[in-house]
Amino acid sequence: MKVGIIGLGYVGLPLAVAFAEANTDVVGLDVNHRVVEGVARGESSVEDVPSERLAPLVGERIEATTDHARLADCDAVVICVPTPLAHRREPDLAYVESAGRSLAAVLRKGQLVVLESTTYPGTTRDRLLPLLEESGMRAGSDFHLAFSPERIDPGRTDHTIRTTPKLVGGLTPACLDRAAELYALICDDVVRLTSPEAAELAKLLENIFRSVNIAMVNELAMLADRMGIDIWEVIDAAATKPFGFMRFEPGPGMGGHCLPIDPFYLAFKAREFDFPTEFIELAGKVNLHQPHFCVEKVVRALNDIGRPARGSRVLLLGVAYKAGVGDLREAPAIRIGELLRELGAEVSYHDPHVDELPDLGLRSLELGEALSESDVACIVTAHPEVDYERVVAEAPLVVDFRGITRGIEAANLVRL
């Protein structure tokens, strides 16, 4: 068994390692030479895959390449390329299409092709299939085609690729069987769906569910702020209900490659059906406003101690989009930094996972120095390595957007 993986990023690299660790040979292909050279040296750029885990597999089980011809002798090829948004929040399928075209040129009879990139229902059938069939072969008979969404959550260790059920939707029953067989090598539980479209939409449902609930609790946080009620106490209280409630927390806004982007793939597709997806749009609007609300909180906190934002030294604590990782994609800290600068504040940051923040032209400062040289420290992302008691003790003023300081009482502390 040999599996080709197209795109060796946050999704493709862990998948390559999972197959290799299940004693399957892997051809890892990426168009980015730097990525391929890194993998070939056994160096991982994905935090969930330590280089110590990758290195012994490279050469033994994993071959990294930029050459599509190397995919020709794979039994299955899995596509894990980006699906970003283009202008006006419309899907950009250029990476999927480019991967599909390159694969069509080397596609061989009997191969299975699986798309894992998150996308709107119909992409596998309407966009990828025609490109692959330009090879002259027919899906379902000459080759097989399926969609199987990636459910990875960077930084999470309690659920792995093996223990997270894998959704699979095939173009035909035979396509489904082939794809289910493939993923049974690395997943304990493979869930069979009747079509690629159902699998595509299931992934979007998961992400939209989170986006809408985060927006709802963000909106309540703004209201609670105005009413003078502690939102964290309210959430803790509601979460004591043993049924019918699921905890979501407010924060500085949504980040990462998934939640700020994927829902708009569905909103776009829905327009073809004359269907306005109002929950998606509203959630996007509320979550996009959240960095503005956070900045307003900082300005008010400074005002309360008699300082204007202009000229104040503001430290952002944690700039990655979530705790425990160094991923800066769509990170709300960047927008917060920009908004503070527009007000004339001097912005700096400390993040144990991010050495450099090119969007703001900054480098991470050492924590002690950062705290002593700021007028206010804003906890944007609550990385577990940071000692928050120390932050509250050493910073003149702390504004906490994550509720990580719950349990600490101090006059210089303000929470979302």
Question: Footprint of ligand NAD on this chain (CB under 6 A)?
Answer: 6-12, 29-32, 35, 80-83, 95, 98-99, 117-118, 150, 152, 154, 257-258
Q: In the bound complex, what is the minimum distance in angstroms from residue 147's beta carbon to ligand NAD?
A: 11
Q: Which residues, at least 6 apart from 187, have a Cβ–Cβ distance to it below 8 Å?
A: 161, 162, 164, 165, 166
CA-wise closest residue to 78 among 15, 123, 126:
15
Nearer to ligand NAD, 261 or 371 (CB): 261
Is 175 annotated as catalytic? no
Nearer to ligand NAD, 120 or 143 (CB): 120
Q: In the bound complex, what is the minimum distance in angstroms from residue 75's beta carbon to ligand NAD?
A: 19
Q: In the bound complex, what is the minimum distance in angstroms from residue 112's beta carbon to ligand NAD?
A: 18
Nearer to ligand NAD, 32 or 303 (CB): 32
Residue of 74, 80, 175, 258 marked catalytic: 258
Q: Are 309 and 300 in contact (CB under 8 A)?
A: no
Nearer to ligand NAD, 17 or 152 (CB): 152
Q: In the bound complex, what is the minimum distance in angstroms from residue 79's beta carbon to ligand NAD?
A: 8
Query: Which H/E stretch holds residue 339?
Result: helix 332-342
* C-alpha span between 176 and 3 (Å, rounded): 17
283-288, Cβ contacts within 8 angstroms, sequence gap of 24 or more: 283/208, 283/211, 283/212, 283/214, 283/215, 283/216, 284/211, 284/215, 284/260, 285/215, 286/215, 286/216, 286/218, 286/219, 287/211, 287/214, 287/215, 287/218, 287/253, 287/254, 287/259, 287/260, 288/253
Q: What single DSSP character describes residue 28? A: E
- Owner of token pair 């993923």: 183
Give the 3-state secondary structure of 244-288: CCCCCCCCCCCCCCCCCCHHHHHHHHHHHCCCCCHHHHHHHHHHH
CA-wise closest residue to 116 among 42, 16, 221:
16
Nearer to ligand NAD, 204 or 379 (CB): 204
Q: In the bound complex, what is the minimum distance in angstroms from residue 35's beta carbon to ligand NAD?
A: 5
Q: In the bound complex, what is the minimum distance in angstroms from residue 12's beta carbon to ligand NAD?
A: 6
Strand blocks (E) in 218-375: 313-317, 346-350, 356-357, 362-363
Nearer to ligand NAD, 48 or 351 (CB): 48
Residue nearest to ligand NAD (CB): 9
Backbone angles phi, psi at 2, to 5 degrees: -135, 130
Nearer to ligand NAD, 144 or 203 (CB): 203
Q: In the bound complex, what is the minimum distance in angstroms from residue 118's beta carbon to ligand NAD?
A: 4
Query: Could you tell me the end-to-end alpha-carbon distance of the chain, in angstroms, rounded to an integer?
Result: 52
Cite the active site residues. 258
